[in-house]
Amino acid sequence: MRRAIALATALSLVAGAAAAESWTKYVDSGNGIQWSYDADYTYKDRETGRVVVMQAVSKPEAKIGPSGPGKADGVGSVVALDCSKKNMITLGSYKPNQPLDIKDTWRKDTPKKADGADNAALLTAVCASADKAPVK
């Protein structure tokens, strides 16, 4: 009986980890590269009102990502978007087999204009449902 409980617990942890990333593609960048954001990681920052979102790059033909931090094919970043002013702050980034390191002082950073087609597409995709994001 204990083995059955242990197995059920292990399977639920694995299933939970697999469901922890819900990647939504928001743009093709050329050369087979795609950008996606993780809907499960997206939230509204209570202190700033910005929408915080994890984004990752993928290249399906090369079987790369999108994946989160610490994974063998994980390349991406976490940004805080101001949907009305169309600017962003980078909180941190990650690359294969390396953890995400979020700066504690990101709220004091000067936002940068969300220039480029990739950033415009991210703003459009994420801000369309920003009112449904949980506040943390």
* pLDDT at site 100: 94
Q: Are 104 and 13 in contact (CB under 8 A)?
A: no
| Residue whose tokens read 């991210």 | 122
Euclidean distance between CA atoms 17 and 14, whole angstroms: 5
Q: Report d(CA 29, CA 59) in Å as an integer.
A: 10
The residue type of 118 is D
The helix (H) or strand (E) run that includes residue 25 is strand 23-30
Q: Quote the CA–CA distance of 34 and 73 in Å, as a whole number.
A: 13
Per-residue pLDDT of the chain (136 residues; tens, 9 = 90+): 333 333 333 333 333 333 468 999 999 998 999 999 999 999 999 999 999 999 999 999 999 999 999 999 999 999 999 999 999 999 999 999 889 999 999 999 999 999 999 999 999 999 999 999 999 9
Structural domain spans, the chain: 21-132
Burial (CB count within 10 angstroms: exposed 0-12, middle 13-18, buried 19+), residue 120: middle
State which fold the 21-132 domain adopts: Lipocalin (2.40.128)
Distance CA 96, CA 43 (A): 24
Res 20: pLDDT: 65
